[in-house]
Structure 1
Amino acid sequence: MKTKDIPEEATFSEYTHAAGGWGSVRALGSILRQEHVLTSGTRVLMKQNKPDGFACVSCSWAKPADPHVFEFCENGAKATAWEITDKRATPEFFARHTVTEFESWSDLELEAAGRVTHPMRYDDASDKYLPISWDKAFDEIGSALRAADAEKVVFYASGRASLETSYMYQLMARMYGNNNLPDSSNMCHESTSVALPKTIGVAVGTVTLDDFAATDCLLFFGHNTGTNAPRMLHSLEEVRKRGVPVITFNPLRERGLVSFVNPQSPLEMLTPARTAISSQYVQIKIGGDSAAVMGMAKWLIEADDVARETRQPRLLDAGFIADHTAGFEEFAAAARRADWNDIERRAGVSRAELEQAAQTYANARSAMLMYGMGVTQHREAVRTIHMLTNLLLLRGNIGRPGAGICPIRGHSNVQGQRTVGITEKPEMVPREKLKEQYCFDVPEKKGLNTVEACEEILKEKISAFFMLGGNFVRAIPDHSRMEPAWRKIPLTVQVVTRLNRSSVIHGRRSYLLPCLGRIEIDQQAGGAQAVSVEDSTGCMHGSRGMVKPASEHLLSEVAIVAEIAKRILIPNPRVNWNAWTADYSRIRDAIAETYPEIFHDFNERMWTPGGFARPLAARERKWKTGNGKANFITPDSLDEDPDMPADGPGVLRLMTTRGDSQFNTTVYGLDDRFRGVHGTRHVLLMNVADIGRLGLKEGDLVTASTVSQDGIARSVDDLRVHAFDIPAGCIMGYFPELNPLIPLAHHAKDSKVPAAKSIPVRLTRTQMQAAQPEDIVIGAPAP
C-alpha cells in the first residue's frame, strides 16, 4: 500500500530530557495556539478531571479526589484543544472538496479541518458530502435499517461515549434484534476481559489510586506511560520518592518510564532535578513477557523450596495459596522444569536480570502489576495475562492494600461501556433483568466482535454499519482488503466530531452525524445535562460540559441514539426516549435498575470526589470463578506468538505503537518528541546492529512486507530507517500507518484482539543507488 510521501524536513535527534518538564509546557502552548484557543483553552483546562468539571476525553486514567492544580497531562490538553478548537468543517468547506480529494489527505490533515457543523449525506453524483436536515437524515437511516436483516447490521461503539449514551445504544441494538456490538475493547483489552475472569473472577483490574500509597513494589509490562497515561507519572513520582522500586519490562526504553520532571513543581522546573521512574529496566524482546515472568516465578519457587527445607522465612504466601487458590502444584512443577537457557532466549534478557527482579519482588510486602497493550496484542495474550496473575498469586498480591493487577485502559470510557452492556457476548449482560425491565426478549445469539465484523464485511454480508464515534476503518487491520470491501457496504453511518478516515472511506450510502463534544454545554429540554464515565480503576465520575457548542446544529450523542431508536424500534411503553433525552438523570435511574449492585443511588453518588468504586469481589478475596478459587494457570508454552516465522535472516518482529502527538488514531502532529522523530510518521525504529547486518544505513527508505502463509501481499512503502535502542531482531513503527501489515487472521487466541505487537516482516529497499536500480530483499541469502 502506497503511503503519502515523506516530508523532506523529516529529522531525527536523540531526546535526552525527562518526560514532563519544559517540553510538556511548550507542547501545551503550541497546541493551544494551533487550535486558536490559547486564552479560553487555558481556562477550560483548569476544570479538566476535577470533581466539579469534565472528564478528560482522551485516556481513562483515574481521577483523584484531591486533584492537582493542573489535573491534566500533555496529551489530555491536546485532546481538549482538539475538541474546543475554533476551526470548522462547514457545508461550505465540504462544497470545496470532493471525497476523492479527501482520500489523498493525511490523517492529520483530515482532522485539522476542524469540527463538523452540520449533518451531511454523501452524494454520488458530485462525489461530495452535502448538508441534510436532521429529520431527513434520521428518516432515511431509519428506513434503511428497518428494511435490513437485523443480523446483518453492526452497531460499533468507540471508547468515548458516556455511560448514559452507551446504555441507550446497547438497549437499542438488542431491541432491534442483535448483539452485534463490537467496540474499541475488541482492539485493545479484550484479552484482559477474557483472561482475568478465569484467574481472579473479575474482568477488570483490582487496583485503585489509594493502593499507590500502600505499595512496596510496582511491576510494569508493555506500556508507555509517558505518552499513553501521563497523569499516572504523578503517582509514580510519589512512589519513587518513598523509595519504592519500579521494575519495567518493555522492548523500548521509553522516556516516561526512565525519568520525569513534574511541571507543577517549581523546584524541579528551575533546577536539574528529575525523578528516576524505573529502578530496574528489563529490556525484553518483543513477545518476551511470558518467559520473563516464568524466570521470576522459577527463582521464587526454587528459592522458597530452599527456604522451606532450611526452615527460613518463606518467599511464597503459603497460607494464601492454600486457602484461596487452585492449580499451584502444577504451575510450580512447570516452573521448576523450565530451562534457563530457553527462558533467556525467549525473553531476550539474562538470567541475572530476571533473578534481580524476582529478588526485589520477593522483598516487597505488597506489589502492584500494571500492563498495557504491549501484553494484550499478541497471539497468546490471554496466556500471558494468566502468567502475570500467576506471579501475583505466588505472594498473595491480590485483595490487600498496595497490591493488585491493573490493566491500563486507553479511551476515556472504554471500560465503562462494557459495564453498561456494550458487548457482543449475551452472557455478559443481565438478560433476564432487561427482559423484566423492558418487556422484550433479549437476543441470545452471540454478536460480532471487531474481527468477526470485518470477516463478514469481506464476505459482503453486512447491510449497514453504524459507528458511535471512533475511526473504525483506520483502526482495523488489513487495509488493502478491508477498504475495498468497506466501500461495498450498502449503508455506513458515523457519529463524528471531526472528519477522519472512516468518513471518507465510506459505504454506498453514507451519513455524517455531528455530535456535541463532552466539553460542550449539553442543553436539553430539562436543562443543561451532565454525563458519566468509568476510569481504569473502576471508579465512576460525573462530567459537565462548559463551553459553547461548536455549532447550533449539533445534537448530543444521547439525542442522536434516541432519534435513531424511535425510527427503527416498535414503540415500547417502558422506554420513553424523549424523556431520557430531556433529562439524563432518568437514564441513570434506568442504569441503576439494571445494575443495582454497581449503580445504586447513581444520581446522588456521581459527583463523589474521586468517583465511586464499583464493587469487585477479588478486592475482598472473593473469587467469582467456576471453582470459587483464584486459579494458577500453567502455560503449555512460553511463546507469545507461536505462528511467528522462525527468526532468521531478514525476518523481523514489528510492533506498532502510538507517538507523542497522538491519541488512538487521532494525530495532533508529526513529531514524536520522546523518540526524537520529527516531521514524519513513516519511520521504522531499528537496532543499530540490525541496520548494519542487513546492509542498511541511517535514513534509508524501505518497504515493509508481511511474512504470511495466506498468499496475500501486504506492504507499506517509504519507511525511513532510524537507529534506536530496541532489542536486535525487533523493530517499531507507528499505528495506524502500519495497520495494513496486520493480517486480519493475526489475532489473539480466544479474545481476537489484533496481534499488532508482533508482526513478522521483511524489508525491501525502495530507494537505491544508481548502481543498484533493482529492489533487493534485505537479509536474503546471496544468489
Structure 2
Amino acid sequence: MSDKSKTQDEDLPHYDRPTGGWGSVKSLATIMERSRPDPGVMKTLWRQNKPGGHMCTSCAWAKPAKPHPFEFCENGAKATVWDLTSHRCTPAFFAENSVETLKSWSDHDLEMVGRLTHPLRYDASTDHYVETTWAEAFAGIAAELQQLDPKSVVFYTSGRAALETSYLWALFARLYGHNNLPDSSNMCHETTSVGLKKVIGSSVGTCTLEDFEQCDMIMFFGQNTGSNSPRFLHNLQAAAKRGCHIVTFNPVRERGLIEFVNPQSPVQMLTTSSTQISEHYLQVKPGGDIAVLAGLCKRVLELEAEKGGVLDKTFIAEHTKGFDDFVRSMQQTQWADIEQASGLKRADLEMIAAMYATAKKTIGIYGMGLTQHVHGFVNLAMYVNLLLMKGHIGRLGGGISPVRGHSNVQGQRTVGISEKPKLVPLDKLAEMFDFEPPRDEGRTTVEVVRGVLDGSVKAFLSLGGNFARAIPDQGQADPAWKDLTLNVQVATKLNRSHLLVGRKTWLLPCLVRAEEDMQATGAQAVSMEDSLSNIYGSVGKRQPASEHLKSEMAIVAGLAKATLKPNPKVKWDEWLGDYSLVRDLIEETYPDDFKDFNARMFEAGGFYRGNPARERVWKTESGKAEFTAPKVLSALGERPGKGEFTMITMRSNDQFNTTIYGHSDRLRGLEGSRYIVLMNPDEIANAGLSEGQMVTLESAVNDGVERRVANMKVTAYDLPDGCVATYYPEANPLIPLDYHDEESKTPAYKGAPVRIVV
C-alpha cells in the first residue's frame, strides 16, 4: 500500500483530536439532554463498575480492584443514561401508533420514545399493542408453548442478562425440551468459542489485567477500542507510557488506537496533551489478516534461522503439536502472495516481526474484525500460531485476548446458554433436577433464521436484544416473522424486533441493571462475567421506571412456572425470592469455576474463575496446544470480481450494537445519515462515481437471491483499495445467511462482496 497505511490522509473526513477528553464530555452531555434523566443519574454513575455498585450494561471490559473516581467511559455512561431516561413508552403511545406506522420509524426514534411501562399484547384485529396483565401474559404464552413441539421453539438471549437469569433461562429451555439457546455470541464471537477451544482448549481468552501491567508488546487486529470499550484505553495508556510497543492492524484508522486524552487526568484535560497509543498503525485489506500473520510468522522463522534464540523451543517441544507442518507451510508461502493478500509491504511486516522477535511478553488483542469472516477460524488459528512460537500463552504478561462487546455475553456461555450439549454438564443437571435433558444439538443464530424462513421455527422467545435487526439477510427474514405462532420479547425499550409480530405476540417490560430489584427476601444482587473471566456482583439502587416492571428473573420464573409441570426439585418461587439460591445452583453445577460464589461475588476487581490454558493445561483433543497450517491467505469467502468491492460493517461512536444513541460518528469525523458508503477517493473516481452521489449497494454473492440497500450516499474516506465501509445494522440485508465462518457459523459481516449500482 501507499504511505497512507501509516498516516492519516488530512484531506479526508477524520477526527483531529484525541479520543476521550472534552469530546467525550460534550458527547455525553448531548445524550443527557436528549434522554433527560433526573439528577440522581450522577449518583448512579458514581457507583458504576465499583465494588457494591452496579455493573455497566455496555462493554465487557474488566473492572479494576482499585477503581478510578469515575469508573465509566463515554459509552458506558451513555448506556446508563439511555436506560434511565425520563421518557416513557406507555399503552397510550401504542393506542396512537399502529405497528405498521412504527415500522417506518428509525431505530433511534423507536428507542427515544422511552422506557416500556406495561406488559403488552399484540392485537391483530387493530394492528396495535394493547395493555395486558402479567398473569394474562404468562398464561397466554404458556398455553401456546404447551401446544408446540419444543424442538420448534427458540430461547434467544442478548448479552446483558445476568448469570442468575441466564442459568434459569437455560434450565427452563432444557426442562421444556430443547437446546435451542443461541445468544448474541453467535453473531460476533462464536468463532472465538469454537476456534480457541480447538487450538488451545479454552473457549475464552487467557489474559487478566495483571498481564497488561507486565507486557512489553501488544498487537491489535480488528478491534476498535475507542468506540467499543473505551475503559480499556486506561490500560493501553499506562502500557504506552512505560514503553510497551503497541501495533495495530485494521482497515480503518480508529482514533482510539491512535491517541487518547484521559478524562481522569486533570493535567491532560487542562493542557490537551495526549498519549500516543499505537507506535505503528497499518491499514490491512479486509480479510488480509491471515496474510499479515503469515508474514510475521515467516519472518520470525527466518530470524530464528539467521541468528537463533528467537523461538521458545522448550515450550514448543513440551506443550505443542503440529509445529513441523506449520513451519513447512510458512516456508512454502511466498512473500508476493502475502503482500497481495494483505495489501501491506514486506518491509513493514518484517519491521513488526523484528519487534515481536525481541519482545519478552506479548499480548494479542482482537475483535470482530477477525471473527466475522468466512475463514475467521483461520484468522484465530494463525494468531495463536504466532503467540505459540515464542511461548506467549500461559506466561505472565502474555496471551490471547478477545475483547467482547455485551457485558455478560461470555458469562452466559459459562452457565449453560449454549446450543451445543457437549459444552453443558447435562448429567449433572439431570441429577440435580430429576429430569432427562435433551441431548440433540440446538440451533445457532444462522439455523434459527433459516428455521424462521422455512417454517420449522414456530416460536421465538427473546430475553432482551434486537435479534431481527442484528441478523444477516434481514430483507429475506423480515416478512417471515409474521408466520410464527408465538413471538415473545422481553425488553426495556421499543425496537424493530418488536414490530415483526407473529400470530401471537407479547412485549414484556423489565428492569434495567441500575434499578432496584425487590423480591420476597429484599433487594437482590445479580452477577456477570467480563472478557477476562472475572465475576462481579451488581446491585441496582434506582427507583424502577414503572411499578408494572418485573426483573428478568421474575419474567423467566413466571413463564417457566406457568409452562412446565410441577417438579419438587425445581423451585421457581424460592429461587425468585432469593437469588443467592440460584448462585448456589450455579456453584453446584460448575464447582471449579464458582467455588464459594456467594461469598466472593463482591470481591474488589471481581474473582477470577480460572482458565486451564493460562496454566498451560491444554484441553484439546491432543492434550497439547495446536499449531495449524493455514489453507488460505485471505479470510474472505469470495474475492470481489471486476467492479466489485469487499464490504466491511462498522459501529459508530454514537452506538452500542443495534442501539443508536444519535447520528454523530465523532471519532471518524462523520455526522448525519447512517446510510453512507465510504470509499477512498481513487476508488470513487475509478468507479465513475462522485462524492455525495446516491447509489444502491447490491450483494455480489451468486446464490440467486437479490439483496439490496438503496439510497446510500458515497462518501470519501481513508480506506484501502477494493474496500467499502458501511454501518451495522443498516447494511445487514447485504450479508447472505449462508455467508459465515466455516467452523462456527458466525456471519461474515466484515468481508462480504458487493456491487455499487447507480
Decide: shared fold, TM above 0.5.
yes
| 2:373 and 2:637 in contact (8 A); partners too | no
- Give me the whole-angstrom Cα distance separating, in 1, the residues matched to 2:637 and 2:517: 50
Aligned to 1:274: 274
| 2:13 and 2:717 in contact (8 A); partners too | no
Counterpart mapping for 1:233-252 below 5 A: 233-252=233-252
Cα deviation code 1:122-155 (max 9, x no counterpart): 0011110000000001000000000101110010
- Give me the whole-angstrom Cα distance separating, in 1, the residues matched to 2:725 and 2:697: 11
Aligned to 2:717: 724
SS of the residue aligned with 2:40?
A: helix
- Give me the whole-angstrom Cα distance separating, in 1, the residues matched to 2:64 and 2:114: 31
Aligned to 1:160: 160
Residue 763 (str. 1) matches residue 756 (str. 2): yes
Aligned to 1:579: 574
Corresponding letter in the other structure for 1:714: R
- Give me the whole-angstrom Cα distance separating, in 2, the residues matched to 1:42 and 1:651: 49
Aligned to 2:306: 306
Aligned to 2:344: 349
SS of the residue aligned with 2:525?
A: strand
Aligned to 2:9: none
Total equivalences in the alignment: 747
Corresponding letter in the other structure for 1:742: I
Aligned partner of 1:433 among 428, 437, 440: 428
Aligned to 1:424: 419
Aligned to 1:112: 112
Alpha-carbon deviation of 1:576?
Answer: 0.6
Cα deviation code 1:617-639 (max 9, x no counterpart): 11111111111111101111212
Residue 337 (str. 1) matches residue 335 (str. 2): no
Residue 96 (str. 1) matches residue 96 (str. 2): yes
SS of the residue aligned with 1:46?
A: helix
Aligned to 2:684: 691
Aligned to 2:610: 615
Aligned partner of 1:753 among 722, 746, 757: 746
| 2:638 and 2:753 in contact (8 A); partners too | no
Alpha-carbon deviation of 1:644?
Answer: 3.1
Cα deviation code 1:275-295 (max 9, x no counterpart): 111001111010010000000
Corresponding letter in the other structure for 1:617: P
- Give me the whole-angstrom Cα distance separating, in 1, the residues matched to 2:13 and 2:88: 35
Cα deviation code 1:261-316 (max 9, x no counterpart): 111111111113111110011110100100000000000001101224xxxxx111
| 1:658 and 1:734 in contact (8 A); partners too | yes
SS of the residue aligned with 2:745?
A: coil
Alpha-carbon deviation of 1:38?
Answer: 6.1
Q: Normalising to structure 1: TM-score of the pair?
A: 0.95
Aligned to 2:206: 206
Residue 288 (str. 1) matches residue 283 (str. 2): no
SS of the residue aligned with 1:495?
A: strand
Corresponding letter in the other structure for 1:701: M
Residue 677 (str. 1) matches residue 677 (str. 2): no
Residue 403 (str. 1) matches residue 398 (str. 2): yes
Cα deviation code 1:66-99 (max 9, x no counterpart): 1111111111111000111111001111111111
| 1:32 and 1:41 in contact (8 A); partners too | no
Counterpart mapping for 1:14-163 below 5 A: 14-37=14-37, 39-163=39-163
Residue 630 (str. 1) matches residue 625 (str. 2): yes
| 1:32 and 1:38 in contact (8 A); partners too | no
| 2:222 and 2:368 in contact (8 A); partners too | yes
- Give me the whole-angstrom Cα distance separating, in 1, the residues matched to 2:634 and 2:684: 26
Cα deviation code 1:222-281 (max 9, x no counterpart): 001000010000000000000111010100000001110111111111113111110011
> Structure 1: which 5+ residue stretches go unaligned?
1-11, 309-313, 766-783
Aligned partner of 2:500 among 500, 505, 510: 505
Structural RMSD (CA): 0.9
Cα deviation code 1:401-449 (max 9, x no counterpart): 1100001111000000000000000000001111111111111100001
Corresponding letter in the other structure for 1:662: Q
Alpha-carbon deviation of 1:487?
Answer: 1.4
Alpha-carbon deviation of 1:195?
Answer: 0.6
| 1:260 and 1:274 in contact (8 A); partners too | yes
Cα deviation code 1:580-610 (max 9, x no counterpart): 1000000000110000111111000000000
Aligned to 1:529: 524
Counterpart mapping for 1:696-715 below 5 A: 696-715=689-708
- Give me the whole-angstrom Cα distance separating, in 2, the residues matched to 1:173 and 1:124: 28
- Give me the whole-angstrom Cα distance separating, in 2, the residues matched to 1:664 and 1:47: 24
| 1:542 and 1:607 in contact (8 A); partners too | yes
Residue 652 (str. 1) matches residue 628 (str. 2): no
| 1:120 and 1:132 in contact (8 A); partners too | yes
Residue 496 (str. 1) matches residue 522 (str. 2): no
- Report the more deviating stretch, 110-119 or 456-465: 456-465
SS of the residue aligned with 1:598?
A: coil
- Give me the whole-angstrom Cα distance separating, in 1, the residues matched to 2:37 and 2:139: 37
Corresponding letter in the other structure for 2:735: I
Alpha-carbon deviation of 1:37?
Answer: 2.0
| 2:220 and 2:364 in contact (8 A); partners too | yes
Counterpart mapping for 1:343-382 below 5 A: 343-382=338-377
- Give me the whole-angstrom Cα distance separating, in 2, the residues matched to 1:675 and 1:197: 35
Cα deviation code 1:13-46 (max 9, x no counterpart): 5320110011001111121221112622222111
SS of the residue aligned with 2:592?
A: helix
SS of the residue aligned with 1:720?
A: strand
- Report the more deviating stretch, 228-237 or 272-281: 272-281
SS of the residue aligned with 1:66?
A: coil
Corresponding letter in the other structure for 1:726: L
Corresponding letter in the other structure for 2:106: S
Aligned to 2:558: 563
Corresponding letter in the other structure for 1:228: N
Instruction: Call closer, same or farther: CA 1:68–1:159 in 2, change over 3 Å.
Output: same
- Report the more deviating stretch, 337-346 or 563-572: 563-572
Q: Normalising to structure 2: TM-score of the pair?
A: 0.98
Cα deviation code 1:531-584 (max 9, x no counterpart): 000000000000000100000000000010001111111111111100010000
| 1:154 and 1:466 in contact (8 A); partners too | yes
Alpha-carbon deviation of 1:614?
Answer: 1.0
Alpha-carbon deviation of 1:60?
Answer: 0.5
Cα deviation code 1:297-339 (max 9, x no counterpart): 000001101224xxxxx11111110111111111011111110
Aligned to 1:736: 729
Corresponding letter in the other structure for 1:71: E
Alpha-carbon deviation of 1:399?
Answer: 0.5
Corresponding letter in the other structure for 1:18: P
Corresponding letter in the other structure for 2:153: V
SS of the residue aligned with 2:683?
A: helix
| 2:289 and 2:634 in contact (8 A); partners too | no
- Give me the whole-angstrom Cα distance separating, in 2, the residues matched to 1:266 and 1:519: 28
Aligned to 1:480: 475
Cα deviation code 1:150-177 (max 9, x no counterpart): 1100100000000000000000000100
| 1:29 and 1:38 in contact (8 A); partners too | no
- Give me the whole-angstrom Cα distance separating, in 2, the residues matched to 1:280 and 1:360: 11
Counterpart mapping for 1:446-465 below 5 A: 446-465=441-460
| 2:122 and 2:130 in contact (8 A); partners too | yes
Counterpart mapping for 1:661-672 below 5 A: 661-672=654-665
Corresponding letter in the other structure for 2:724: I
- Report the more deviating stretch, 130-139 or 694-703: 694-703
Corresponding letter in the other structure for 1:511: W
SS of the residue aligned with 2:730?
A: coil
| 2:59 and 2:406 in contact (8 A); partners too | yes
> Structure 2: which 5+ residue stretches go unaligned?
1-11
